Chains A and B, each alone.
Chain A
């Protein structure tokens, strides 16, 4: 089991998550775009989905979300659900293309991030919070999605490293195989 842990993705996801969480709670709280805090953790979950598929994206999203909930004091599991959805959506969108270009990855990451952020008030509604859908959400969603797209060239390779994945290589078939 211990060996499995060290060979699995968690041994990389957790320390990377700690650093991303620290960035989220320090510099990104200060560097707001039009009053909106960029959601680096959610973007990372979506990027993991794009890089490794919906299952791995969900695992990364769940771990990052649980860490976020523990640090922020929000109900444990509430952000984890949202980030899991971000990873799943990123992974499902990545099915569209076999080997997506960087700009396609950016679009998938953006949509996954937006889906994750949009899930937060939905979860809050189920938890029993009154009026979790704020008018601000209309401003928040495009900005965090755009930020996710901009960050995807960094986050997708990082997610690939965390998941111990190598970039797919497509080789031209030899003449024998072609015939």
Chain B
């Protein structure tokens, strides 16, 4: 039987005080502790690797038992998503080309000039509070604390600590995460595609069948790769190439066709800029040939876009990140579900402007002048990160120093 005495109480007190001392030293920054941490990481590496090999079959059996039904449901959901994407892709392509043209006309900065470093996710937090992942690139690859991390879908998080070979990335859902964002409101005038490809087509059938035409960008006598009626558009040929940041565009003066990835003839762009039609009311038609016996017609009215700025905050694993401090002014714009959220940038922001974050999923109004609270559904699936891209970006304020 364990006996409780004053002597034992002293030992417990000493351990607690030692913990507090270590905590203070570490929070103030101590090179000795950093070195011990590095050394411990090296000791743990082979132990973890061996444990991973041994426990991998158990993991697979567990996932097979627990996740099989989820996987089946997810496959069906993905199939529906593929169908919807085929329907909306044409509208998106037209918008991308127009956006690039406008960016070039006004010499706006774009993300394409920023270097990135691809890294593999090698671990995640082992406790229930932190939303942190570990990647296999560190300071040797030019990664520094504060750099934003993205994947092909959008913002994932930011680098919070770096060793020579690894880095830790705090995810957007972590309760300590904050970033300035802008909410792009479509003002309710965006018309979703009214007809989409019906569900049930296999992905390869869609790949064979889907053909996209862009009448709004075609110019008589000129050929745009995307206008080739024989060019097929498949779900994996998304407008964002492998080496491009989400939301990135080529440098000013250089344009890439989003369908083929080939440069667009400048003369086509000149003809585009001379179009008298306003940017609004651009009809876009996606036609699926008779082989699939379906036709999808998408009509998109480009809205007058309004932007509001706020701070996105993570709220933990189970809750959607939230935007606060927005001053909702009905005379300017009304923020609502479906509005797009992207990073705001700025001279002191850790992330450049224009990285897609997600869409507004819910809106809750607060009493007083606080403005609404917006829940944001992230584009990136943070539960399934395999590869991420670290944007080697430093805020302008740091670069100037």
Q: Which of A67, A88, A139 contacts B40 (CB 8 A)?
A: A67
Closest Cβ of chain A to B22, distance in Å, is: 4
A contact residues around B1 at 8 Å (CB): 94-95, 98-99, 168
Quick check: is B361 within 8 A (CB to CB) of the other chain? no
Q: Which 6 A-B pairs have the closest CB atoms?
A: A53-B2, A77-B23, A77-B22, A22-B51, A27-B55, A77-B19
Quick check: is B47 within 8 A (CB to CB) of the other chain? yes
Contact residues, B169-219 vs A (CB, 8 A): 175-176
- The answer to whether B315 touches A134, judged by C-beta atoms less than 8 angstroms apart, is yes
Q: Which of B18, B22, B128, B129 contacts A124 (CB 8 A)?
A: B129
Quick check: is B325 within 8 A (CB to CB) of the other chain? no
Contact residues, B1-27 vs A (CB, 8 A): 1-4, 8, 11-12, 15-16, 18-27
Quick check: is B52 within 8 A (CB to CB) of the other chain? yes
A contact residues around B123 at 8 Å (CB): 25, 29
Q: Main SS of chain A's interface residues?
A: helix
- The answer to whether A72 touches B125, judged by C-beta atoms less than 8 angstroms apart, is yes
Closest Cβ of chain A to B159, distance in Å, is: 12
CA distance A103 to B272 in the complex (A): 78
A contact residues around B128 at 8 Å (CB): 36-37, 39, 117, 136-137, 140, 144
- The answer to whether A22 touches B2, judged by C-beta atoms less than 8 angstroms apart, is no
A contact residues around B316 at 8 Å (CB): 134-136
Quick check: is B362 within 8 A (CB to CB) of the other chain? no
Q: A67-B40, A135-B316, A136-B317 are in contact. Are A94 and B2 (CB under 8 A)?
A: yes
Q: A31-B62, A54-B2 are in contact. Are A24 and B21 (CB under 8 A)?
A: no
Q: A37-B128, A95-B2, A168-B1 are in contact. Are A55 and B19 (CB under 8 A)?
A: no
CA distance A24 to B47 in the complex (A): 12
Which residues of A come within 8 Å of B, CB atoms?
A: 18-19, 21-31, 35-37, 39, 52-56, 58-59, 62, 65-68, 70-81, 84, 88, 91-92, 94-95, 98-99, 117, 120-121, 123-124, 127, 129-132, 134-137, 139-140, 144, 168
A-B contact pairs, 30 of them (CB 8 A): A19-B47, A21-B44, A22-B50, A22-B52, A25-B48, A27-B55, A31-B58, A35-B317, A36-B128, A52-B2, A55-B8, A62-B18, A70-B37, A70-B40, A70-B41, A71-B40, A71-B126, A75-B23, A76-B23, A77-B19, A79-B127, A80-B22, A81-B23, A84-B19, A94-B1, A95-B2, A124-B129, A131-B175, A134-B129, A134-B316
Q: Which of A30, A58, A73, A131 contacts B12 (CB 8 A)?
A: A58
- The answer to whether A81 touches B19, judged by C-beta atoms less than 8 angstroms apart, is yes
CA distance A153 to B29 in the complex (A): 41
- The answer to whether B40 touches A19, judged by C-beta atoms less than 8 angstroms apart, is no
A contact residues around B12 at 8 Å (CB): 54-55, 58, 84, 88
CA distance A39 to B43 in the complex (A): 21
- The answer to whether A72 touches B318, judged by C-beta atoms less than 8 angstroms apart, is no
Q: A59-B15, A92-B4, A130-B176 are in contact. Are A77 and B20 (CB under 8 A)?
A: yes
What residue of chain A has the Cβ atom nearest to residue B3's Cβ?
Answer: A53
Contact residues, B126-150 vs A (CB, 8 A): 126-130, 132
B contact residues around A29 at 8 Å (CB): 123-126
A contact residues around B22 at 8 Å (CB): 66, 76-77, 80
CA distance A121 to B176 in the complex (A): 13
| Max chain A Cβ within 10 angstroms of own Cβ: one of B23, B25, B40, B63 | B23
Q: A54-B8, A76-B23 are in contact. Are A23 and B317 (CB under 8 A)?
A: no
Closest Cβ of chain B to A165, distance in Å, is: 10
CA distance A124 to B8 in the complex (A): 26
CA distance A28 to B315 in the complex (A): 23
What residue of chain B has the Cβ atom nearest to residue A55's Cβ?
Answer: B8
- The answer to whether A19 touches B26, judged by C-beta atoms less than 8 angstroms apart, is no
- The answer to whether A81 touches B20, judged by C-beta atoms less than 8 angstroms apart, is yes
CA distance A52 to B52 in the complex (A): 31
Q: Which of A70, A72, A168 contacts B126 (CB 8 A)?
A: A72
What residue of chain A has the Cβ atom nearest to residue B383's Cβ?
Answer: A35
Closest Cβ of chain A to B165, distance in Å, is: 14
Q: A54-B4, A73-B168, A130-B176 are in contact. Are A22 and B20 (CB under 8 A)?
A: no
What residue of chain A has the Cβ atom nearest to residue B52's Cβ?
Answer: A26
Closest Cβ of chain B to A92, distance in Å, is: 7
CA distance A81 to B24 in the complex (A): 13
Quick check: is B33 within 8 A (CB to CB) of the other chain? yes
Quick check: is B59 within 8 A (CB to CB) of the other chain? yes
Q: A22-B44, A67-B40, A99-B1 are in contact. Are A62 and B15 (CB under 8 A)?
A: yes
Q: A22-B47, A53-B2, A120-B129 are in contact. Are A77 and B21 (CB under 8 A)?
A: yes
What residue of chain A has the Cβ atom nearest to residue B24's Cβ?
Answer: A77
Quick check: is B79 within 8 A (CB to CB) of the other chain? no
| Max chain B Cβ within 10 angstroms of own Cβ: one of A26, A74, A78 | A26
Q: Which of B3, B43, B127, B318 contacts A37 (CB 8 A)?
A: B127
B contact residues around A30 at 8 Å (CB): 59, 62-63
